[in-house]
Structure 1
């Protein structure tokens, strides 16, 4: 089956304001500025209408260079690895979209993933290029993600998160911790560690906090309810590891698994963004959303 025609409205472009230089054409500037992308690739993108001028029109290969000229281009990853797992849409209105993200699917374009991301999929499904995630969950985590669908109301919903006006509940499966008393609150100072994508706890001023409850005791494994008060990267995974119960199938904690391997869909990280609750900043009405996914199986 041939590829569907490229529709800029279903993608999000990156923008470059051309720097100072002596290039003859925009093409020359792009080749020199993005050294990891060869000239043949830029020629191919231009031929397919994936490099646009400030007015959103495809540029010609001989468009003269001009400092400060704004150029829009669409990121592409050669031979992007497809992700079979499918998202579902739980809610759509003028201002909000709520989706259930499966394990392994990134929320936004990053690294080797561009088209196989929750954001790009939703833009295509809903035909709304204005979608912007209001928060993020890890690629390995499943569950609820809220998107702003309307630029006019976006800031009101974005403010819910830094102002801690939204309640988040996660479910996790991890080893039993019979020696601890629950519920408990774990706090620590988290900073970036090694490798660069891992976080670690260090001494210093506390910047992360999680409430932990036991939802179900299942022998050697327990089901936990996790309530992040703060929103640090990998916070729940790091905090559970610190308590002595790294989440089942976690590829990063307590140790990093071999990198570069294919995702094993039979062993997803046992972490699910289960519930979100908040008072709507526009109407004041309470809003509540619950994932239809589970960690069973």
Structure 2
């Protein structure tokens, strides 16, 4: 055990040593969002870019030149070390620059995450339904990562695993870049126990539950996944915790970590998770329709801490829709 922990830490420290200089030079987080980066490519034949402004206007044609001029004036275009550059800065092939994006207004997501635990290495959050973990599409400020960065002031905060926007529950974040790889290895090496709960149609299962294995690949449309023929690359252990005869609460333990794995497996077994807009059939649901949250909860994460060696268990405080209970008459 000690040898395995020592090896994990050595790998993490070697990886961090290669990144330390670059991390220290990066511009600061602004409103919870890191600066974007671009390395200046070779000049195009016959149409050289005399200045950095000319390149940015050509590269990002959807952004008006006056917007780039304003960003330069506001000091939002910088060299790799964070020093503001003037709009007359000459174009230099190979130079790495950074800039802050102009973020459009976002519709607020009216649900809050709760911090379950925080120390020098980890932050554990209890995510509500509908809140994306990382910036994506129309949501940047309204993502769990950006909200937590602003709440805690932790600029280096980074999620250690995925959790769908539709799913609620426990999410682990790395606080310190120096130990991040050690915790990432827990997921890569399947040394973390994940327990989910889901509400779905009732199906009689063996007392010990069942194990479902299949091959999952990208489906249609591109954001859906599907079971396909071939050697299995996914495995889920499923157990029924209780039923009201029509619906049931299931405990799901994914052994692998494929995208949408639990949702795909439950639909394939004829037990689609309640309120799932993607499986088994695609349903149109407005992004701001919060009436019917997906009944899937990342209920618990447990692992041996690679730094301290202690067993860590983090459990969500959230609840799924209750099963119906018969009235006093037994009806």
Distance in structure 2 (CA, Å) of the matches to 1:280 and 1:236: 26
Q: Does 1:49 align with 2:75?
A: yes
> So what's the TM-score if we normalise by structure 1?
0.92
Q: Does 1:196 align with 2:222?
A: yes
Q: Is the 8 A contact 2:36 2:98 kept in 1?
A: yes
Match of 2:293 in 1: 268
Q: Is the 8 A contact 2:236 2:256 kept in 1?
A: yes
Q: Which of 114, 121, 140 matches 2:166?
A: 140
Aligned pair in 2 of structure 1 residues 241, 11: CA closer, same or farther (>3 Å)?
Answer: same
Give the secondary-structure state (helix, strand or coil) at the position aligned to 1:79.
coil
Q: Tell me whether 8-17 or 285-294 shows the greater mean CA deviation.
A: 8-17
Match of 2:25 in 1: none
Match of 1:3 in 2: none
Q: Is the 8 A contact 2:199 2:321 kept in 1?
A: no
Aligned pair in 2 of structure 1 residues 108, 154: CA closer, same or farther (>3 Å)?
Answer: same
Q: Does 1:278 align with 2:300?
A: no
Residue 171 of structure 1 deviates from its aligned partner by 0.7
Distance in structure 1 (CA, Å) of the matches to 2:282 and 2:103: 25
Residue 76 of structure 1 deviates from its aligned partner by 4.1
Q: Is the 8 A contact 1:176 1:245 kept in 2?
A: yes
Match of 1:13 in 2: 35
Please give the residue correspondences for 1:60-209 in structure 2 after superposition, counting only pairs within 5 Å. Answer: 60-178=86-204, 180-182=205-207, 183-209=209-235
Q: Does 1:225 align with 2:246?
A: no
Q: Tell me whether 219-228 or 52-61 shows the greater mean CA deviation.
A: 52-61
Q: Does 1:59 align with 2:85?
A: yes
Residue 84 of structure 1 deviates from its aligned partner by 1.5
Distance in structure 1 (CA, Å) of the matches to 2:239 and 2:143: 31
Residue 228 of structure 1 deviates from its aligned partner by 0.5
Aligned pair in 2 of structure 1 residues 36, 246: CA closer, same or farther (>3 Å)?
Answer: farther
Q: Tell me whether 13-22 or 199-208 shows the greater mean CA deviation.
A: 13-22
Distance in structure 2 (CA, Å) of the matches to 1:184 and 1:195: 29
RMSD: 1.7
> So what's the TM-score if we normalise by structure 2?
0.83
Residue 85 of structure 1 deviates from its aligned partner by 1.2
Q: Tell me whether 40-49 or 213-222 shows the greater mean CA deviation.
A: 40-49
Q: Does 1:245 align with 2:267?
A: no
Structure 2 gap segments, 5+ residues each:
1-27, 323-331
Match of 2:327 in 1: none
Whichever structure has more helix as a proportion of its residues is 2
Distance in structure 1 (CA, Å) of the matches to 2:139 and 2:128: 15
Distance in structure 1 (CA, Å) of the matches to 2:281 and 2:71: 40
Distance in structure 2 (CA, Å) of the matches to 1:67 and 1:168: 47
Structure 1 gap segments, 5+ residues each:
1-5
**1:12-38 per-position Cα deviation (integer Å, ceiling 9, x unaligned):** 222111111221221221222223333
Distance in structure 2 (CA, Å) of the matches to 1:51 and 1:244: 53
Match of 2:5 in 1: none
Give the secondary-structure state (helix, strand or coil) at the position aligned to 1:216.
strand
**1:250-292 per-position Cα deviation (integer Å, ceiling 9, x unaligned):** 1111111126x23321210101101000000011110010011
Q: Is the 8 A contact 2:212 2:236 kept in 1?
A: yes
Residue 112 of structure 1 deviates from its aligned partner by 1.4
Aligned pair in 2 of structure 1 residues 123, 228: CA closer, same or farther (>3 Å)?
Answer: same
4+ aligned runs moved over 6 Å, structure 1 = none
